[in-house]
A and B are shown apart, each in its own frame.
Chain A
Amino acid sequence: MLQHVYLIPLIPLAASLLILLGAKEDPRSPMPFLGIAATGWCLLQSIAIFYGAATGALSLPYAADWSWFTFGATAGGKPFLYDMPVGVLIDGSAAVMLVVVTLVSFLVQVYSLSYMRGDPRFKRYYAYLSFFTASMLGLVVSSNLLVTFCCWELVGFSSYILIGFWFERPEPPYAAKKAFITTKLGDLGLYLALLLIFCQVGSFQIPQIREYVARGFMPAAAATAIGLGILCGAAGKSAQFPLFIWLPDAMEGPTPVSALIHAATMVAAGIYLVAKCYFIFAVSPVAMETVAWTGAITALLAATMAVVSYDIKRVLAFSTVSQLGFMMCALGSWGFSAGLFHLTTHAAFKALLFLCAGSVIHAVHTNDMRQMGNLDKKMPITFFATLAGTFAIAGIPGFSGFFSKDMILEKVFEHDHESPWPMTVPLFVLMALAAFSGWLLDRGEFFTRLVHFDALPGLAPAHEAAHAPAYLTWYVTAAVFFAIYLAYRLYGGSNFREAESIKRRCAPVFNLLERRYYLDEFFLALVGLSDQAARLAFWIDSEVVDRFFVDGWGLLMLALARLCHLFDDSIIDRSVDATGGLSVSLGGTLRWIVRRGLVQEYLLWSAAVMSVLTLLTLPAQRYCLGASVGLGLLAILTLLLVRRPR
């Protein structure tokens, strides 16, 4: 079945196009079932692949390529014919991601049958969902980084159209634009990283790049630059610091969309990309450290912002950002398997929590948590599901979140046992503050066997792995229980007097958190700055360049043209007129000859001319010529003298 893995992204794409173009909007339209069927088929295929890989029946990694186009290129000074293929690459992480994406997408689509019923654009919603699923699956299976980038952009576009789904209200389009532009900022770094990869390696194929790095051709500086670029893209898409500002606002979209895209799959794309290009980070310690620190800072910041929020979806959004920071920190600490394991468990329990929140919102028609309470009797299923999710995300022993977080903590501790404080203390605080979960496999060993990072030959991690002490787990669990007790004390019950008094006393801190560390204002100021720069450039262009150079050149040409006209008018035209005038005056002068009308005078003139001409035809000796010319002049003189008026 691995031969048909390329169909997995294509089937939902076909379903999306069919739904979009094939039917009219109709509340009872059967089109959504087409989308659900397509996603269900992909889910079955993914489970089959995962099961085969887990039992060892299928050998991974599997790669297959089809030629797209060819062109000539130069790498390292030597020219060669580059063949750009499109293909699939399935290894352990891809197999796991396939299951995650298809499973959550399938569940969300089923959930939406009831949640989005009655919406005027019901059918189009399913087309968008299938399109997103197709793009995300394309991103997961692709072996060509350029195709991955294309799918990356398509996923961003799907997020845009889904966040702004209810565009009649003013907030969703604004949030959609914010999401798209913020991720675009990150994509700039990713694009530069791709260009650098091609310049260095001469290929976009992941196996070839891996081979190139394994043989040691990649210099550390290039690897650092590429790693930082990839991190930039991942920071945009996976909402790391400072580009996470879009994720809280993205909650304007429908809740199933939030569950699918902004909890489980799209935001995991950044983590997945870093994991796929992990070999580049492996040869650049600087990039690896930056990844870890970015993740840690993000986790802490987002958790603090979640504390002061009252909107249930916003709390979940901040929690997502925090968990993503967690995953990134894991990856940056050589915890490849840990990070991806947490990604898998997080997908499940975060989606669960979002869908539960959606159910609650559907019931009470408000997002404000202060107005919710005592719902456990009225919505028992939702209550138990939320409880399970909360325990999972808190890391209560026995739930999946416990295992994945435990693995992360171990890795982080091992990586940085020289100075544990900056790294581990925030993590302690984190787990106590966030909450989510879903049930998944519990044996971390099993997950590590499936999803692990083959150390490149000769490039094993420089530091030895020291095992984390056993008391780490107990400390963490104790902190979690304390945090749950604290939350119950402050927010349990119907009045929040104690919480309010704490808030009044720590007002400046709360202000900072509520304004999200003024990051929104910072980015808006950045936008304003670029606007000012654009205005300045426009002013220069229109006033200086246009007026001085272009208009000035035009005026110069105008002056030159006037000069030419002057020349033409006064000199050339005058000379032409003078020539004509000369002819006229000559004719007028000649008329003087015939003024008196006497024929004999005409005869005299012609005889005189004839005689002069005959003289000139003779062989000229000097005296003869002189004498004849003199005689001719005398003749003319006589002619003039004899003309007495009649």
Chain B
Amino acid sequence: MIEAIAFYSMAAVALLGALLVVSLRNTVHSSLALGLSLAGVAGIFANLGADFLFAGQLLIYVGGIAIIIVFVVMLLGRTSDLHLRQVNQQWGAALLVCAMTGVSLWRLARGYLGVRAAAPAAPTTRAIGLLMLGDYAVPFELVTLVLVAALLGAIFFSRKSADGEVPS
């Protein structure tokens, strides 16, 4: 019972936030709604018993990515666009595509509706840590490389040169 309430509420938050993301005109509002949606997803993780993911989601996604997006939206400063549409001309075709994809995904997921949890959730942090530095050590290191590359790329693309020109 508790679990159902928890699930449905968190799901509602996530979906509501998502809908707001794709439909609001104000980009700032949109980005804030993204944060809300990500928090809802964190709640879903908590429902599943994925404690590390729950914490990581909040820390990284909500506390990091959503904030950065808000920063950049404000940097762009297009608050005067509130009168313009934010959804482009191909929304109908996109709707159809999404419907078709939804149909197939729904049919896929429908088969698993009867599957129940086999055992109560257990803490996972320790296990994830062991796996990261054990079997998945190589992907772990590669991911650090990816982060370094992203850092460098971001710095490179967003700096100004000495005479005020931006690098193209």
Contact = CB atoms under 8 A, between A and B. Distances in A.
B154 to A, nearest CB: 21
Interface of B: 88-90, 92-94, 96-101, 103-105, 107-108
A632 B100 contact: yes
A635 B96 contact: yes
A635 B100 contact: yes
A600 interface: yes
Contacts, number: 55
Contacts of B103: 615, 624, 627-628, 631
B100 A638 contact: no
A217 B60 CA distance: 128
B90 A642 contact: yes
The DSSP consensus for interface residues of chain B is helix
Contact of A618 (B92, B94, B108): B108
21 contacts: A604-B94, A607-B101, A610-B101, A611-B97, A611-B100, A611-B101, A611-B104, A615-B103, A615-B104, A618-B104, A627-B103, A628-B100, A628-B103, A628-B104, A634-B96, A635-B93, A635-B100, A638-B93, A638-B96, A639-B93, A644-B89
Given A615-B103, A615-B104, A604 B97 contact: yes
A644 B90 CA distance: 10
A644 B93 CA distance: 13
A634 B95 CA distance: 11
Given A614-B104, A624-B107, A628-B104, A607 B88 contact: no
Interface string A417-453: 0000000000000000000000000000000000000
Contacts of B92: 638, 642
Interface in A588-646: 600-601, 604, 607-608, 610-612, 614-615, 617-618, 624, 627-628, 631-632, 634-635, 638-639, 642, 644
Interface in A240-284: none
The DSSP consensus for interface residues of chain A is helix
Q: How large is the interface on A (under 10, 10 to 19, 20 to 34, 35 or more residues)?
A: 20 to 34
Interface of A: 600-601, 604, 607-608, 610-612, 614-615, 617-618, 624, 627-628, 631-632, 634-635, 638-639, 642, 644
A611 B107 CA distance: 13
A604 B93 CA distance: 8
B90 A631 contact: no
Nearest to A601: B90
A607 B97 contact: yes
Contact of A604 (B90, B99, B101, B107): B90
Contacts of A600: 88, 90
A631 B89 contact: no
Contacts of A627: 103
A299 to B, nearest CB: 126
A612 B104 CA distance: 9
